[in-house]
Amino acid sequence: MSRPYYIAGNWKMHKTRAEAAELAGALASRLADGKHKYLVAPSFTSLETVGAILRGTNILLGAQDCAPAEQGAHTGEVSVLQLKDLGVQAVILGHSERRHIYKEDDALINRKVKLALKHGFEVILCVGELLEEREAGRAEAVCETQTIQGLEGVSAADIPKITIAYEPVWAIGTGKTATPEDADAIHAFVRKVIARLYGTDAAEKIIIQYGGSVKSENAAQLMAKEHIDGALVGGAALTAETFVPIAKFA
Ligand code: 13P
């Protein structure tokens, strides 16, 4: 079964509009002949600027989060309606920084997943264990729970709009990458969870990205693994010089 590769850049809380525009412009031209599926997720404040540059290119516009409600008294939050208005096509949900710094739980993430799907967005659902959970032998159990609860109530018809990103928390921004073997084992396990929930066809088709200190030096080895279908890149997504070689890994 061959799945398309999907390489996404999560710009996190970096870049002014001018800086974001410069990077988006560089990626639009340098990835124009890229063979894979691409996305960048700038800060909310740069979505409009970056969206205008990416329109008509092969790079999708993503948001890093959304509110669990369409509108109302949610100070500081951003709604799917506002994201749609900006031309956003996909939303990253359940990122470990949302889970661990801002204490988002699986129930809240699940509400966001369902709302984003209802409004036609693609979703990148992030799962991943803490170091102490891995050391306690609980990596699979944590990823299983986050996958099952994150997708609770999501219909089989919507599964093609879901990408899973396995991001072991101990590998994010630390320079420590999971070995391709360790990452692949979790990806295979998550695929089995999807098979149990949605059948083997859905499981074979779902894209599972790896995230956590992906660099040009390790991208090809990770992506060579059977169950690793792409990458969700943080630090190395912040310049064209570091992101393009990952996006065009050979
Ligand atoms: P780093 O690539 O900086 O480790 O970040 C990974 C990540 O969290 C992407 O969402």
CATH number, domain of 117, equals: 3.20.20.70
* Active-site residue, selected from the candidate residues 122, 129, 133, 167: 167
Domain of 49? 6-247
What is the 32 CA–ligand 1 centroid distance (Å)?
Answer: 24
Whether 53 is covered by a domain: the verdict is yes
For the chain, the maximum distance between any two Cα atoms, rounded to a whole number of angstroms, is 48
Q: What is the pLDDT of residue 177?
A: 84
Each residue of 49-89: pLDDT tens digit?
Answer: 999 999 999 999 999 999 999 999 999 999 999 999 999 99
Catalytic site includes residue 167: yes
Q: What is the pLDDT of residue 1?
A: 58
Whether 92 is covered by a domain: the verdict is yes
CB of 214 shorter than 6 A to ligand 1: yes
CB of 232 shorter than 6 A to ligand 1: yes
CA-nearest residue for atom 1, ligand 1, is 234
**Atom of ligand 1 at shortest distance to CA of 173?**
4
CA-nearest residue for atom 7, ligand 1, is 234
Whether 190 is covered by a domain: the verdict is yes
Domain count, the chain: 1
Q: What is the mean pLDDT of residues 222-228?
A: 97
**Atom of ligand 1 at shortest distance to CA of 215?**
2
Placement of tokens 């921004």 in the chain = 173
Catalytic site includes residue 95: yes
Whether 1 is covered by a domain: the verdict is no
What is the 171 CA–ligand 1 centroid distance (Å)?
Answer: 8
Q: What is the pLDDT of residue 2?
A: 81
Each residue of 124-150: pLDDT tens digit?
Answer: 999 999 999 999 999 999 999 999 999
CA distance from start to end of the chain: 19
Between CA 231 and CA 243 the distance in angstroms is 11
**Atom of ligand 1 at shortest distance to CA of 236?**
2
Q: What is the pLDDT of residue 74?
A: 98
The 10 Å Cβ neighbour count of residue 186 is: 25
220-224: long-range contacts, CB 8 A cutoff, minimum separation 24: 220/249, 220/250, 221/180, 222/177, 222/180, 222/183, 223/5, 223/249, 224/180
Q: Are 5 and 230 in contact (CB under 8 A)?
A: yes
